[in-house]
Structure 1
């Protein structure tokens, strides 16, 4: 009596075991392959019985059709929202990142809420990107939504303080899936008035509901613009600013030729203050501290570097004339090679009222130039990891500031000390490579 075959499925079959002598050669080969763990032809959904054997076998399957070539992945489109593309910390860092990005991976464009052209616009366009002017007024929502439909970004990366809440709310309406708030300062411009507090509260409320990621350049910036309990929010992350080290190395190498003196003593002490024209940068205090230093008979000069505003420049010039130091102050305007300027300076002076993490401090440390700064929390975070930073409260007298400046400039750093300073920065978390890796990881 024939034995019944085991049940079979639509996808595979298990043939009944028969003695080798009773099998045709094909069955014997299949059995040998099965015993050796070698896969034979893949079965199809049909089954049948080979004539003359009573053995259930699978019908042979046609050769599989190869998968089509995968489509190349579209680059991630990022729209970064800033105030104006001038030579300042966050804007220069964005430009450096644009130079580094692989266009097959990322497409970075900029929207400026001032609606005004900046000094970096032409260079951005030469690199194949674009600057979109989107001025903040009552038509801003319409302009920005139109821009989102035009650019179709995968990411909106907004660095306009708590106004980023409005930007990211509009990005959400426009269907942008990744919406990043990027805090680069420890305070916004709304102040402590009732209106200012209301604007700040609305911005934070919108951020809480519309931001997918919240990034700050320092813990101080995160606490100042977001909240003290930021560590409990899984969207929050601190990514320290980074600096390019190659220009620093070039600046140090150009500091002198072999055998030349380290410093030209006829130049005396050169103090540099680098900032944009903004009351928060407190250029007035820099002039006052410098005047106190000159009153100590220190042969010094002050370079005020950065974009000039005619009204502010007139105010600073009048102050310098009253203090008797107008002939010792130079307004240089914007300077492209900041590392070379810093390497040729005796001291970087930082008198800002608020900062997130000033990149210029990192640039000074990378060429071994000492820093005298207001005791800002972001600067203190740098000082915890790198030497070369001295801080004083802004409430301290100009005499104390000038005493400290004289002490820091008494002995110029040697060439080897500058090189060692750059090596320390390279081993720190404040490099452009680290910053780029962490930012693009969030974008991805």
Structure 2
């Protein structure tokens, strides 16, 4: 058989078309590109459609991995443009990651004759809100999902329950697939990152002792500038901690918005913690960031399965977060997650944080945490197998 004959006999890759708002550096978007890196491009071809009309910061990397990004702004002309795009690309799978609005996406995919149509839920909330109009929109979209989705996937049980139904386990087309991380970068981070804090400091001693007072535990908050991430609450926790005499510093990591950044800096100045507050922007080395931190602070108002919590757990960095269902779900499977009631005062957060900072993890405990994570359901291999089995139906 000639080279040309062998090439023609080779099955074409399955085309999976993902729908997102924009391919910026955020949890679900980063995880999808990470999955793309771990798949054979001869078996799966990734195409992305973005509803904001912007390709996003990850577009260049997607193209370098053999994928493509098609901005398709969500306006009155969207249904016709999207239908034409589907007919031109002829994907085997439409994998929609836009919460309950996936109902409209999958309706158009069905009209285009796409055989596999997946609604993938990444959060416990959507953008429709609690108004009458929002509730009606949500009900309509859920009905469209019910009619036109061949499969429904969620990143956590709580996410499926919140955005779909409490009896979802009775539906054969519903499944929970935890996002997966590759443990290798976190193992390298533990090898190369030396802990910045002493092995077993005590906060009281840090306040009383001149020698120990040089210890400044590092708290990190990772998230985009979105009201859902509630980044201002992290500054309030820092203020409350410093008032308790804990010499902590806070790094709010993530894409910046000029208006929000100015508000956060002003908040820190008014609270007297400007010298302990930093806005370094985005980090491209999350494993290293987590391995060098003493505490991860999550202050989101709602989440699905927050990847940043998994990243902290992978290197044994303690996590303090509200008792969101997805966080509690992670805490049932991995150690190191402490929760406080949603909506509680910053003083309650500070009390919990002070106790956690009093005894940060040792190097041995971090290695033990990585081993536990590597055998958990949150690793890349399990996620890859689950996703490909979905697309190969």
Q: Name the TM-score, length of structure 2 as normaliser.
A: 0.92
Deviation at 1:412, TM superposition (A): 2.0
Aligned to 2:318: 370
Pairing of 1:337-356 with structure 2 (within 5 A): 337-356=285-304
1:334 aligns with 2:282: yes
Which structure shows the bigger proportion of residues in helix conformation?
Answer: 2
Following the alignment from structure 1 to structure 2, what is the Cα–Cα distance between the partners of residues 372 and 342?
13
Flag the structure with larger Rg: 1
1:428 to 369, 376, 381: 376
Following the alignment from structure 1 to structure 2, what is the Cα–Cα distance between the partners of residues 164 and 322?
43
Following the alignment from structure 1 to structure 2, what is the Cα–Cα distance between the partners of residues 71 and 100?
24
2:113 to 144, 169, 175: 175
Q: Unaligned 5+ residue runs, structure 1?
A: 1-67
1:390 aligns with 2:328: no
Deviation at 1:406, TM superposition (A): 0.9
User: What are the superposed Cα offsets for residues 176-223 of structure 1, whole Å, 9 maximum, x if unpaired?
Assistant: 000000000011111110111011111101100000000000011001
- SS of the aligned residue for 1:253 comes to helix
Task: State how many pairs are aligned.
Answer: 375
Native 8 Å contact 2:324 2:342 kept in 1: no
- SS of the aligned residue for 2:332 comes to helix
Deviation at 1:425, TM superposition (A): 0.6
Q: Unaligned 5+ residue runs, structure 2?
A: 202-211
2:253 to 290, 295, 305: 305
Native 8 Å contact 2:194 2:292 kept in 1: no
Deviation at 1:117, TM superposition (A): 3.3
Following the alignment from structure 1 to structure 2, what is the Cα–Cα distance between the partners of residues 407 and 120?
38
Deviation at 1:89, TM superposition (A): 1.1
- Against the structure 1 CA distance between its residues 169 and 288, is the aligned structure 2 distance closer, same or farther, given a 3 Å change threshold? same
Following the alignment from structure 2 to structure 1, what is the Cα–Cα distance between the partners of residues 171 and 280?
44
Native 8 Å contact 2:45 2:66 kept in 1: no
1:269 to 217, 220, 224: 217
Q: Name the TM-score, length of structure 1 as normaliser.
A: 0.82
Aligned to 2:22: 84
Following the alignment from structure 2 to structure 1, what is the Cα–Cα distance between the partners of residues 273 and 73?
39
- SS of the aligned residue for 2:9 comes to coil
Aligned to 1:142: 80
Native 8 Å contact 1:351 1:394 kept in 2: no
Deviation at 1:91, TM superposition (A): 0.8
Aligned to 1:411: 359
Deviation at 1:397, TM superposition (A): 2.0
1:212 aligns with 2:142: no
Following the alignment from structure 2 to structure 1, what is the Cα–Cα distance between the partners of residues 308 and 88?
35
Between the two structures, name the one with larger relative contact order (CA 8 Å, sep ≥ 6). 2
Deviation at 1:71, TM superposition (A): 3.0
Pairing of 1:216-227 with structure 2 (within 5 A): 216-227=154-165
